[in-house]
């Protein structure tokens, strides 16, 4: 449960490494509403068309099917103008810092038509190296106005990066893969042949990765054409004035939500069981949220310091994703979305790590930090805050080896979703990726089996994985895959066994995820946690994802809903009786009399337990 402490009016100041997003000032003379609405919708439409172009032309299943990317327009100040609908939110949250860094390095005169810049360097981007950013400058009548940007997950960037990335156990960026620091792969339309050869010679899957790079470039060039059309039609001043007004209106909408909350300081904590390297030490997460007359300050200073394991990041994504989810989850995102948000993350924090701290498993901690921020506001937003969701970036299916028919390397990739927390009005969603991942989805079984020598034996919801509650937590998945050739599985992913997805207001915790392996000739599956683990042919792996926490007392759940869950095999008969107090006959009809007796008995037992616990605390 969140903890509320004394109200404060002292304004929080951001130390070095913190950032406060500020939208542009609103125009003194608003545009006519029709023109404004056309431009308001045209800008995201450009980003959406970029996304469609990228999906159609990319080589990598992580892009064209899983949708692990974002496309966007960012101005020269690093302010987000628009992004595609469903773009990965913890990708787009930090594109602005790349542009501000590039403007310092190259200067306004250092860009030209035909330039294409490639970057993934962790000193600025703060993510794993597979997340490659390609961007191009946009000029209108010789004036640099903005950049078209695409961040997408490459299948490989050398080192140990194959698949979803090297994982927490990789000790530094050089082991992880190629580090590309604001390099021009094209300059004034001319390919940098040397850089291209370096990329090609150091990537295991050059056809895929360089094909994806060209798809990213094509999406950026498409944006340039569309922006030409828009600026030619409405003119420079009108477009820029509209962007400023959109920023201001978006900020106002977010402020309106925060202004309804009681001023004060709200806190919450959680943790990861370990960081993947130091397994006997928890990774603490502590957040402080200050509400002050429509402004929100999210302070992550209490989180762990940077780690020797690769769960570090350098990102404002957790704070921004949480703020957006709380204030305007269905509204298009732009820099105005964060105009009333102040973020405090000191240098050396696990969320603001200093290069060359390892960041190969950067995304491991981010969803749990987002959840903890939201948890802190449970008392302030009882009608909106859900219980905890599975809190990791999903169960990653990563298996790679050599294809016997083609003689070429292959890699299987998919992100398997888990359960979300129960909500104030309904159950949590099942089999859904984390709050950070936008419209990412799992790869199709047909696509996996068509391209790679594996068989997906099953993909099914995990019975009883959702936490019990008046509104039940969503369910996780069990996805069983059998490999038809020798290869390596990646099981490198810290879990939250000791801090499972929490319930709220009497709801029960959801279950945690796992990786399970059964080798040929073995009868039982065993839990695994290891990077690039070699296995023989006909090995079986279950990628297991966690369930969401429950919201409210399980004994208040409608017995008819519990019965329906049992019939659908979402909840077992045992859990129905022991957790929900619902007794069913052999034909699964509801025994109302015994249900009432069972629930009364469970309530009495809970009161006795609470009384005994209170006596022990007093003693």
Q: Tell whether 192 is covered by a domain.
A: yes
List the structure tokens of 109.
Answer: 């005169």
Lowest mean pLDDT among 168-172, 259-263, 307-311, 383-387: 168-172
Is residue 89 within 8 Å of residue 321, measured between CB atoms? yes
Query: Which of 450-453's residues contact partners 24+ apart within 8 Å by CB, and which partners?
Result: 451/61, 451/410, 452/399, 452/403, 452/410, 452/411, 452/412, 453/401, 453/403, 453/404, 453/405, 453/410, 453/483, 453/484, 453/485
Residue 483 lies in a domain: no
Distance from the Cα of residue 298 to its chain's centroid: 18
Instruction: Please give the share of the chain, as a percent, with pLDDT higher than 70.
Output: 94
Residues 176 and 292 in one domain: no
3-state SS, residue 609: helix
Longest dimension (CA), the chain: 80
Which element (helix H / strand E) includes 136? Answer: strand 131-140
- What are the beta bridge partners of residue 488? 400, 534
CA distances from 130 to 25, 80, 111, 208, 418 (A): 36, 22, 25, 13, 23
- pLDDT reading at 206 higher than 60: yes
Domain count, the chain: 3
Region 512-518 average pLDDT: 95
Residue 248 has pLDDT above 80, yes or no: yes
Q: Using only the alpha carbons of the chain, give its radius of gyration.
A: 25
Q: Is residue 486 included in any domain, yes or no? A: no
pLDDT recorded at residue 505: 97
Q: What is the pLDDT of residues 455-467, one digit of tens each?
A: 999 999 999 999 9
Q: Give the residue carrying structure tokens 């926490």.
A: 549
How many whole angstroms separate alpha carbon 557 and alpha carbon 42?
45
In this structure, the answer to whether residues 101 and 209 fall within a common structural domain is yes
In degrees rounded to 5, what are phi and psi of residue 368? Answer: -70, -35
- Residue ending a domain, among 332, 361, 380, is 380
Which has more confidence, 227 or 20?
227
The answer on 53 and 17 residing in a single domain is no
Does 54 reside within a domain? yes
39 and 176 co-located in one domain: yes
Q: What is the mean pLDDT of the chain?
A: 92
Q: Which range (167-171, 316-320, 446-450, 477-481) has the least confidence?
A: 167-171
Task: Give the end of a domain, one of 329, 354, 380.
Answer: 380
User: Using H for helix, E for strand and C for coil, what is the string for 66-92?
Assistant: CCCEEEEEEECCCCEEEECCCCCHHHH
pLDDT at 315 over 80: yes
Choose one of 345, 362, 380: the last residue of a domain.
380
* Residue 243 forms part of a structural domain: no
Query: Can you tell me the mean pLDDT for 104-121?
Result: 97
Which tens digit of pLDDT belongs to each residue from 58-71? 999 889 999 999 99
pLDDT at position 220 is 98
pLDDT in tens, 326-336: 999 988 999 99
User: Global pTM?
Assistant: 0.92
The arithmetic mean of pLDDT across residues 268-288, rounded, is 93
Residue 390 has pLDDT above 60, yes or no: yes
- Rounded CA-CA distance 382/380 in Å is 6
Residue 94 and residue 221 in one domain:
yes
Same domain, residue pair 140 and 275: no
Over 368-408, what HEC string results? Answer: HHHHHHHHHCCCCCCCCCCCCCCCCCCEEEEEEEECCCCCC
Specify which residues 542 forms β-bridges with.
480, 516
pLDDT band at 18 (very low <50, low <70, confident <90, very high): very low
Cα distance between the two ends of the chain? 24
**Quick check: 475 pLDDT over 70?**
yes
Residue 520 lies in a domain: no
pLDDT tens, position by position, 344-374: 999 999 999 999 999 999 989 999 999 999 9
8 A C-beta contact, residue 548 and residue 501 = yes
3-state class (DSSP) for residue 486: coil
Kindly state the tokens that stand for 577.
């009786």
- Does 150 lie in the same domain as 88? yes
Q: Where are the alpha helices (DSSP H) in 412-451?
A: 445-451
Q: Residues 158, 226: one domain?
A: yes
Q: How confident is the model at residue 615 (pLDDT cuts 50, 70, 90)?
A: low
| Residue 606 to residue 616: CA distance in whole angstroms | 15
Are 8 and 60 in the same domain? no
State mean pLDDT over 388-396: 86
Does the structure show a pLDDT above 80 at 15? no
Q: Classify residue 414: in a domain, yes or no.
A: no
- Render pLDDT for 148-195 as a digit per residue (tens, 0 to 9): 999 999 999 999 888 776 678 888 999 999 999 999 999 999 999 999
More confident of the two residues 4 and 447: 447
The pair of structure tokens assigned to 454 is 């594996």
In 3-state terms the chain splits into helix, strand, coil percentages (rounded to 5) of 30, 20, 45
Assess whether 273 and 181 both reside in one domain.
no
For residue 442 the two structure tokens come to: 């799992």
User: Do 167 and 218 belong to one domain?
Assistant: yes
Q: Looking at the structure, do residues 73 and 170 belong to the same domain, yes or no?
A: yes
Q: Which residues contact 556 (CB under 8 A, 6 or more apart)?
A: 470
Mean pLDDT of 462-479: 98
Instruction: Check residue 438 and give its pLDDT.
Output: 85
- Give the burial string for 334-347 (b: 16+ CB within 10 Å, else e): bbbbbbbbbbbbbe
- Asked whether residue 421 is assigned to any structural domain, the reply reads no
Reference 261, options 373, 380, 372, 341; nearest CA is: 380
pLDDT above 90 coverage of the chain, percent:
81
Among the listed residues 90, 88, 85, the one whose alpha carbon sits nearest the alpha carbon of residue 45: 85
Contact predicate 471/550, CB 8 Å? yes
Specify which of 28-42, 87-101, 496-510 reaches the highest per-range mean pLDDT: 496-510
Task: Summarize pLDDT for 567-614 with one digit per residue, the tens.
Answer: 999 999 999 999 999 999 999 999 999 999 999 999 999 998 887 776
* The pairing of beta strand 80-83 with beta strand 183-187: unpaired
* Domain region containing 61: 31-234
Q: Is 53 exposed, middle or buried (0-12, 13-18, 19+ CB in 10 A)?
A: buried
pLDDT reading at 24 higher than 50:
no
Per-residue pLDDT band at 494 (split at 50, 70, 90): low
Q: Where are the alpha helices (DSSP H) in 81-205?
A: 89-92, 95-106, 173-176, 193-201
């Amino acid at each position: 449960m969140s903890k509320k402490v004394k109200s404060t009016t002292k304004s929080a100041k951001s130390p070095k490494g913190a950032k406060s997003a500020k939208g542009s000032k609103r125009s003194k003379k608003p545009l006519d509403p029709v023109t404004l609405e056309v431009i308001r919708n045209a800008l995201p439409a450009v980003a959406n068309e970029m996304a469609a172009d990228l999906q159609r032309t990319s080589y990598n299943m992580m892009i064209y099917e899983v949708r692990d990317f974002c496309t966007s327009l960012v101005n020269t100040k690093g302010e987000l103008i628009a992004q595609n609908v469903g773009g990965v939110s913890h990708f787009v949250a930090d594109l602005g810092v790349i542009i501000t860094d590039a403007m310092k390095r190259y200067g306004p005169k250092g860009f030209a038509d035909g330039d294409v810049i490639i970057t993934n360097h962790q000193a600025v981007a703060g993510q794993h190296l597979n997340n490659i950013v390609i961007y191009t400058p946009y000029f209108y009548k010789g004036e640099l106005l903005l950049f078209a940007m695409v961040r997408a997950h490459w299948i490989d960037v050398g080192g140990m990066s194959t698949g979803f990335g090297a994982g927490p156990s990789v000790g530094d960026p050089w082991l992880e893969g190629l580090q590309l620091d604001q390099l021009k792969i094209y300059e004034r339309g001319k390919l940098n042949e040397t850089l291209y050869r370096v990329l090609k010679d150091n990537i295991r899957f050059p056809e895929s990765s360089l094909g994806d790079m060209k798809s990213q470039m094509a999406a950026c060039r498409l944006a340039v054409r569309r922006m030409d059309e828009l600026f030619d039609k409405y003119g420079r001043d009108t477009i820029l004035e509209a962007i400023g007004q959109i920023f201001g209106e978006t900020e106002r909408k977010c402020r309106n939500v925060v202004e309804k909350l009681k001023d004060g300081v709200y806190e919450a904590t959680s943790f990861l069981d370990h960081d993947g390297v130091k397994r006997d030490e928890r990774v603490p997460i502590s957040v402080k949220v200050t509400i002050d007359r429509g402004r929100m300050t999210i302070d992550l200073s209490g989180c762990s310091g940077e780690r020797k394991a690769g769960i570090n990041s350098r990102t404002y994504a957790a704070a921004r994703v949480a703020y957006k989810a709380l204030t305007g989850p269905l509204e298009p995102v732009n820099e105005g979305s964060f105009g009333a948000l102040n973020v405090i993350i000191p240098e050396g924090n696990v969320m603001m790590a200093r290069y060359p701290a390892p960041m190969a498993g950067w995304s491991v901690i981010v969803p749990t930090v987002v959840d903890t921020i939201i948890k802190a506001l449970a008392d302030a937003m009882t009608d909106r805050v859900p219980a905890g969701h599975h809190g990791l970036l999903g169960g990653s299916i990563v298996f790679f080896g050599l294809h016997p028919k083609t003689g070429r390397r292959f890699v299987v990739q998919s992100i398997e979703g888990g359960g979300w927390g129960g909500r104030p009005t309904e159950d949590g969603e099942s089999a859904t990726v984390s709050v950070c991942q936008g419209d990412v989805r799992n790869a199709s079984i047909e696509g996996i089996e068509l391209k790679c020598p594996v068989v997906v034996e099953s993909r099914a919801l995990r019975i009883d994985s959702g936490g019990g509650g008046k509104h039940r937590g969503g369910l996780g998945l069990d996805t069983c895959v059998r490999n038809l050739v020798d290869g390596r599985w990646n099981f490198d992913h810290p879990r939250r066994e000791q801090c499972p997805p929490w319930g709220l207001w009497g709801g029960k915790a959801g279950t945690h995820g796992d990786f399970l392996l059964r080798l040929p000739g073995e009868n039982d599956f065993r839990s695994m946690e290891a990077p690039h683990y070699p296995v023989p042919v006909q090995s079986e792996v279950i990628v297991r994802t966690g369930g969401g926490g429950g919201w409210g007392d399980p004994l208040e759940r409608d017995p008819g809903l519990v019965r329906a869950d049992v019939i659908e095999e979402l909840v077992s008969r045992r859990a129905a009786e022991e957790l929900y107090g619902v007794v069913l006959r052999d034909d699964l009809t509801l025994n109302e009399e015994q249900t009432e007796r069972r629930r009364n008995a469970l309530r009495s037992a809970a009161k006795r337990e609470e009384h005994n616990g209170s006596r022990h605390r007093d003693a």
